[in-house]
Structure 1
Amino acid sequence: MDKLVFKHLEMTRGYFLKNVVLVSQEIANVQPEGFNNTIHWNVGHVLTVAEQLMLGLPDKTTHLPVNYIELFGNGTKPADWKGDVPTLDELIIELKEQSVRLQQIPAELLNEKLEKPFLGLETFGELTGMVIMHEANHLGIIQSMMRVIEHSEVKN
């Protein structure tokens, strides 16, 4: 079962990357009507949330800058961005590097109880499942945004 969880994590990240590498920086920063953020933000959000939940940003990992929480954390939006914002290409590189780190998490950690339940989840394995679902959800949002942007470009 442990191998299956890590396989799902790897498969979801691979499919996520396969889709976002096709997005141009210009398209990545378009916020289509009806959406709260941009593709650029969604990519950074997936990276940041996975780092927070799986690898302990900001206290237990130094692989991402702490300001990513301010840029891509829950409730943030590109309209509020200040300072140095990583490009989409930089985020893609960081997603690939993070994928390697995620695969190095010891399988026995999946059965460990969390210090306190998070959204009703009690073990690290359950949290991992939520991270997989979260990433897949944001992939769907990105795919929807792409369709809306492409459709509006055809009309213009």
Structure 2
Amino acid sequence: MNQELYRQFEMTRGFFLRSISKISPELVDIQPQGYNNTIHWHIGHVLTVTEQFLFGKFFSLPGKYVEWFGKGTQPSDWQGDVPSVEELTPELEKQLLRIKEIPEEALEQKLEKPFLGLETFRELAAMSLFHESNHLGQLHSMKLMLERTPH
């Protein structure tokens, strides 16, 4: 992968992982009033959507991840043995290593069909960074709210 783009993934994922490590385990499954999901869901969602965006046909997470953490899902619908934050965190770390292995030439490939106006894999990778940063903001917001309010 292009070194500049990879450094952005490394920085963003590093912030994401450090944020997770600073959240009390007692807070990860509380859904604050006014929020659609939990911190636990956001962590699994970032992992799952990044996998969908960057690895598509080579999706390596168990199939249920899309059912638990895909777009439009929510914890209140979870069934089965949902992976814990402790299980998701090393998957995020391994995924970052796999991102680094994406060949430079793959970045210029056209997508089979445009997605949200994006036409190349490089643009989709940049969208993935934007997506993760957005959810990083959600983690911070939810953490602050949960720490400041009784539950």
Task: State the TM-score bracket (shorter-chain normalisation).
Answer: over 0.9
TM-score normalised per structure 1: 0.93
Q: Equivalent residue of 1:65, what SS? A: coil
**RMSD over aligned Cα atoms:** 1.3
Q: Secondary structure at the match of 1:133?
A: helix
Measure the CA separation in 1 of the matches of 2:25 and 2:38. 11
Match of 2:55 in 1: 55
Q: Deviations over 1:76-129 (max 9, x none)?
A: 000000001000010001101111101111111111111110000000000000
Q: CA deviation at 1:25?
A: 2.6
SS in 2 for 1:25: coil
Give yes or no for contact 1:113–1:122 (8 Å, CA) kept in 2.
Answer: yes
Task: Give distance in 1, aligned partners of 2:144 and 2:21.
Answer: 16
Contact 1:25–1:87, Cα closer than 8 Å, also in 2: no
What TM-score comes out, normalization by structure 2 length?
0.96
In the other structure, the counterpart of 1:103 is: 100
What are the residue-to-residue correspondences of 1:91-130 with 2, within 5 Å?
Answer: 91-130=88-127
Question: How much has 1:21 moved relative to structure 2?
Answer: 1.5
Q: Match for 2:87 among 86, 90, 96?
A: 90
Q: Which runs of 4+ in 1 moved over 6 A?
A: none
Q: Return the alpha-carbon distance in structure 1 between the equivalents of residues 9 and 94 of structure 2.
A: 14
Q: Distance in 2 between matches of 1:134 and 1:73?
A: 13
Count of residues in correspondence between the two structures: 151
SS of 1:27 mapped into structure 2: coil
1: CA distance, partners of 2:14 / 2:104: 20
Pairwise mapping of residues 3-152 of structure 1 onto structure 2 (< 5 A)?
3-56=3-56, 59-62=57-60, 64-152=61-149
Please, which moves more after superposition, 44-53 or 23-32?
23-32
Taking the aligned partners of 1:124 and 1:33, their CA distance within structure 2 comes to: 37
Q: What are the ranges of 5 or more consecutive residues in structure 2 without an aligned counterpart?
A: none
